[in-house]
């Protein structure tokens, strides 16, 4: 990713090898800082681009072809089942959606891996969440992630462990939802999250993977450190209250709470399937005049698909703003950062003070469905009030 | 061989310490330099540390924390270089956030997992930490605790001067294949 790209190449230079171990296995993507918000960052990106060019990196997703690195890695088939991939941004856990071990590392580790194609790992204990039941309308993978956060807190039960999601409700979930679930395992404190590859994975990768892959799954008699059962049919649309990710509530408890900024995007919830739900809710409606709605697709590919599907037109017609793909205000650096007194309802992944800009802003987290419906109402609102006919099942990939 | 018995004064965190608060956002892209990064280290953790050189001026040698120390999901290595630059020799906590646990090993700063340690230490207590056995003595209170000992690999990396120097040595000696 761009934010630490230059630093990673600098650490690499200190190792004393002239070339990266494989030019097709080092992937660079512009995400946190595009288009650059300041002259300082623009300069840093220019220095990084020169290094990417110097090392003849084959896959470079720069502005115009950009996307959040985790989305880029998965949607372009750079991550395959049964493999290990690392990224310098924390949400590299997303790769678990295709049955890979995805892990975030710092620049030192990234530099070592670029030089020798190896890295040290601590073998984690694994924890299983077996998820059954039918997904209710308007309940998304994000709600399950937040529900699990509310079950577990940061009390050490998940810290540094692998979370494996299994069960009929996971089998029914499309790749977008699986990416959301694995993405947020880092925010649960886990080392990584993983979902075994199946027919959904195979269909997703059929047009994307350029290498062969073979399914690798946990043994039938695998032993887990802990096992938890979740019945998804009992989960409501769920929010994290400002400041703490484990301060969880269901939407009906906080319905009517005013807010003034709505944000939909990020590596957690900026995919085509998310935008399909948003467009279905906004279609023919108007965003409340006291709310700024900002939508940022997770990648250029998602953006183009959403344009072709008409979702972007629907969002703009409803009075929502759409920006070119980036991490946007989720990283608190640019594109709609929060100011003093802002109350933000975000489909992103973190809500600690200052995450999206000012320390004097409040950040609520929820699914894109809750953000979109609440943006129409001007207060936090329960999308289950909508007709079930407007709900889009999260099992199948969104069609363009 | 690096020192295996560490002694000094501890600072005990009262709450959840996030990487975001150890190094504030304005310093995330600054140069990695222990002396420079130490100037504002811990500035977001307590108001008293929010001044140039404030945390380092206390002369603490250990940080004692609770669960998920340095959590929040930031991979920035300034967290480690800043803590080291402030004179901290080891961090003891119930558990550590993974990204900074890796970074600590890569820089040779012991992150020692020690369940319940926060209940046994008060800020200002003198500790004696035995890296090879995991024994932690509180010299002020006359108590002792047992932590996970530090594996040999971690000590090797620390002795080499950190992961970059460790790997550079293996590359120069043609011994990368021996790493497994």
pLDDT recorded at residue B1: 47
Q: How far apart are CA B133 and CA B4, in angstroms?
A: 9
Classify residue A83: in a domain, yes or no. yes
Q: Measure CA A298 to chain center.
A: 8
Query: In chain A, where does DSSP find H-type helix?
Result: 2-13, 39-54, 69-75, 107-116, 141-152, 168-171, 175-183, 199-206, 251-254, 266-269, 272-282, 300-309, 311-317, 368-377
Structural domain containing residue A100: 2-116
The verdict on A184 and A61 lying in the same domain is: no
- Residue B66 CA to residue B160 CA, distance in Å, equals 29
A222 and A298 in a single domain? The answer is no
Q: Do A16 and B77 touch (CB under 8 A)?
A: no
Let me know whether A107 and A76 are in one domain. Answer: yes
Q: What is the interface size between A and B, counted as CB pairs within 8 Å?
A: 99
From the list B75, B98, B171, the residue facing A160 with the nearest CB is B98
Asked if residue A252 and residue A380 are part of one domain, the reply reads: yes
**Pairwise CA distance, residues B60 & B90, whole Å:** 10
Q: Are residue A228 and residue A245 in the same domain, yes or no?
A: no
A372 belongs to a structural domain: yes
Domain count, chain A: 3
Cis, peptide link before residue A119, omega less than 30° from 0? no
In a domain, residue A397? The reply is: no
**Tens digit of pLDDT per residue, chain A (400 long)?**
999 999 999 999 999 999 999 999 999 999 999 999 999 999 999 999 999 999 999 999 999 999 999 999 999 999 999 999 999 999 999 999 999 999 999 999 999 999 999 999 999 999 999 999 999 999 999 999 999 999 998 877 899 999 999 999 999 999 999 999 999 999 999 999 999 999 999 999 999 998 999 999 999 999 999 999 999 999 999 999 999 999 999 999 999 999 999 999 999 999 999 999 999 999 999 999 999 999 999 999 999 999 999 999 999 999 999 999 999 999 999 999 999 999 999 999 999 999 999 999 999 999 999 999 999 999 999 999 999 999 998 886 665 5
In a domain, A395, yes or no: no
What tokens appear for B53 in the block? 């050189």
Whether A330 has its CB under 8 Å from any CB of chain B: the answer is no
Q: What is the pLDDT of residue B26?
A: 87
Same domain, A206 and A246: no
Flag if B107 and A191 touch (Cβ within 8 Å): no
Sheet architecture: strand order including B126-130: B111-113, B90-93, B62-65, B5-12, B126-130, B135-138, B143-146
Question: Residue B149 — very low, low, confident or very high, per pLDDT cuts 50/70/90?
Answer: confident
Q: In this predicted model, which residue has the larger pLDDT, B75 or A267?
A: A267
In a domain, B158, yes or no: no
Shared domain for A314 and A343, answered yes or no, is yes
Q: Quick check: is B168 in a domain?
A: no
**Cβ neighbours of B107 in A, within 8 Å:** 108
B126 is a domain residue? yes
pLDDT tens, residue by residue, B2-54: 568 999 999 999 999 999 999 998 898 888 999 999 999 999 999 999 999 99
Question: Is residue A351 domain-shared with residue A337, that is, in the same domain?
Answer: yes
Residue B64 lies in a domain: yes
The answer to whether the CB atoms of B99 and A17 lie below 8 A apart is: no
Question: Does the residue B163 lie in any domain?
Answer: no
CB contact under 8 A, A109 and B16: no
Q: Report d(CA A141, CA A163) in Å as an integer.
A: 15
Q: What domain range includes position B118?
A: 5-149
**Token digits for A58?**
């084959």
- Indicate the residue among A56, A84, A116 that finishes a domain: A116
ipTM for the whole complex = 0.88
Which one of B95, B107, B167 has the shortest CB-CB distance to A159? B95
Same domain (yes/no): A148, A99: no
The verdict on residue A399 lying in a domain is no
pTM: 0.94
Residue A348 belongs to domain with CATH number = 3.30.499.10
- Residue B20 has its nearest CB partner, among A116, A156, A352, at A352
A105/chain B closest Cα distance in angstroms: 6
On whether the CB atoms of residues A345 and A364 are closer than 8 A, the answer is: yes
Q: How many CB atoms lie within 10 A of CB B35?
A: 12
C-alpha angle A160-A165-A170 in degrees, rounded to nearest 5: 155
Exposure letters A62-86 (e unless 16+ CB within 10 A, then b): ebeebbbbbbbbbbbbbbbbebebb
- Distance of residue A17 Cα from the nearest chain B Cα, in angstroms: 8
CATH number at residue B119: 3.20.19.10
pLDDT at res. A400: 53
What 3-state class would DSSP assign to B64? strand
In a domain, B84, yes or no: yes
Distance of residue B40 Cα from the nearest chain A Cα, in angstroms: 17
What's the count of helices (H) and strands (E) in chain A, helices before strands?
14, 15
Residue A1 and residue A33 in contact, taking contact as beta carbons nearer than 8 Å: no
Q: How far is A159 from chain B (nearest CA, A)?
A: 7
Question: Per the domain annotation, does B170 fall within a domain?
Answer: no
Q: What is the pLDDT of residue B132?
A: 87
- Whether residue A398 is contained in a domain is answered as no
Cβ <8 Å between A11 and B96: no
A115 contacts in chain B (CB < 8 Å): 167, 171
**A215 plus A90 within the same structural domain:** no
Q: Specify whether A242 is located in the same domain as A385.
A: yes
Same domain, A265 and A379: yes
Q: Does A350 touch chain B (CB under 8 A)?
A: yes
CATH number assigned to the domain comprising residue A139: 3.40.1060.10
From the list A221, A224, A231, the residue with the least C-alpha distance to A194 is A224
Overall number of domains in chain B: 1
Residue A104: inside a domain: yes
Please provide the average confidence, as pLDDT, over all residues in chain B: 93
Q: What is the mean pLDDT of residues B67-88?
A: 94
Interchain CB distance below 8 Å, A108 and B162 = yes
Q: What is the rounded end-to-end Cα distance, in angstroms, of chain B? A: 22
The structure tokens listed for A399 are 């069609």
Residue A400 within any structural domain of the chain: no
In three state form, how does the secondary structure of A250-307 look? EHHHHCCCECCEEEECHHHHCCHHHHHHHHHHHCCCCCCCCCEEEECCCEHHHHHHHH
Instruction: Show which of A201, A216, A234 is a domain's final residue.
Output: A234
Contacting A with CB below 8 Å, chain B residues are: 16, 18, 20, 25, 28-29, 32, 67-68, 71-77, 94-99, 101-103, 105-107, 153, 162-164, 167-168, 171-172, 176, 179
Looking at the domain assignment, is residue B47 inside a domain? Answer: yes
End-to-end CA distance of chain A: 28
Helix (H) or strand (E) holding B21: helix B19-22
A107 touches chain B (CB under 8 A): yes
Residue A178 near chain B (CB below 8 Å): no
Nearest CA distance, B121 vs chain A (angstrom): 20
């Amino acid at each position: 990713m761009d934010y630490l790209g230059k630093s990673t190449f600098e650490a690499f230079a200190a190792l004393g090898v002239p070339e990266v171990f494989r030019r097709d296995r080092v992937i660079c993507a512009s995400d946190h800082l595009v288009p650059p918000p300041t002259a300082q960052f623009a300069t840093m990106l220019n220095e990084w681009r020169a290094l990417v060019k110097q090392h003849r990196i084959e896959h470079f997703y720069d502005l115009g072809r950009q996307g959040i690195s985790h989305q880029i890695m998965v949607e372009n088939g750079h991550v395959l089942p049964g493999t290990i991939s690392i990224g310098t941004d924390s949400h590299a856990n997303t790769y678990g959606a295709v049955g890979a071990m995805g892990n975030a590392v710092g620049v030192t580790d990234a530099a070592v891996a670029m030089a020798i194609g190896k890295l040290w790992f601590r073998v984690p204990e694994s924890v299983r969440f077996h998820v059954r039941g039918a997904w209710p309308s308007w309940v998304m993978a994000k709600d399950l992630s937040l529900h699990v956060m509310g079950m577990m807190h940061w009390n050490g039960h998940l810290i540094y462990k692998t979370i494996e999601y299994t069960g009929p409700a996971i089998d029914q979930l499309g790749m977008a939802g699986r990416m959301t679930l694995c993405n947020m395992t880092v925010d649960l404190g886990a080392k990584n999250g993983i979902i075994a590859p199946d027919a959904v994975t195979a269909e997703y990768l059929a047009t994307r993977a350029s290498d062969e892959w073979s399914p690798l799954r946990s043994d039938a008699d695998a032993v887990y450190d802990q096992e938890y059962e979740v019945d998804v049919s009992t989960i409501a649309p769920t929010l994290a209250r400002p400041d703490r990710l484990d301060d969880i509530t269901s939407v009906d408890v906080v319905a009517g709470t005013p807010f003034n900024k709505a944000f939909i995007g990020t590596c957690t919830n900026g995919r085509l399937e998310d935008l399909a739900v948003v467009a279905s809710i906004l279609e023919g409606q108007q965003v409340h005049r006291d709310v700024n709605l900002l939508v940022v697709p997770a990648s250029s590919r998602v953006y183009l698909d959403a344009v072709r599907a008409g979702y972007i037109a629907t969002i703009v017609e409803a009075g929502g703003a759409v920006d070119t793909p980036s991490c946007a205000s989720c990283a608190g650096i640019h594109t709609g950062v929060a100011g003093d007194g802002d109350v933000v309802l975000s489909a992103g992944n973190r809500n600690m003070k200052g995450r999206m800009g000012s320390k004097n802003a409040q950040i609520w987290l929820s699914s894109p469905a809750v953000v979109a419906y609440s943006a129409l109402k001007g207060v936090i609102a329960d999308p289950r009030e909508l007709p079930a006919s407007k709900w889009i099942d999260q099992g199948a990939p969104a069609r363009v | 061989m690096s020192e295996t018995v560490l002694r000094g004064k501890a600072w005990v965190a009262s709450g959840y310490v996030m990487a975001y608060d150890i190094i504030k956002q304005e310093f995330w892209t600054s140069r990695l330099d222990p002396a420079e990064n130490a100037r504002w280290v811990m500035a977001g953790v307590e108001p008293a540390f929010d001044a140039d050189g404030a945390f380092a001026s206390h002369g603490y040698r250990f940080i004692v924390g609770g669960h998920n120390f340095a959590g929040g999901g930031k991979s920035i290595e300034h967290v480690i270089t800043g803590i080291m630059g402030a004179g901290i020799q080891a961090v003891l906590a119930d558990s550590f956030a993974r990204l900074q646990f890796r970074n600590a090993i890569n820089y040779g700063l012991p992150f020692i997992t020690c369940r319940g340690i926060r209940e046994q230490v008060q800020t200002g207590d003198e500790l004696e930490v035995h890296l090879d056995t995991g024994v932690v003595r509180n010299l002020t209170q006359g108590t002792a605790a047992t932590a996970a000992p530090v594996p040999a690999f971690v000590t090797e990396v620390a002795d080499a001067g950190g992961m970059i120097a460790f790997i550079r040595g293996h590359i120069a000696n043609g011994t990368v294949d021996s790493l497994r």
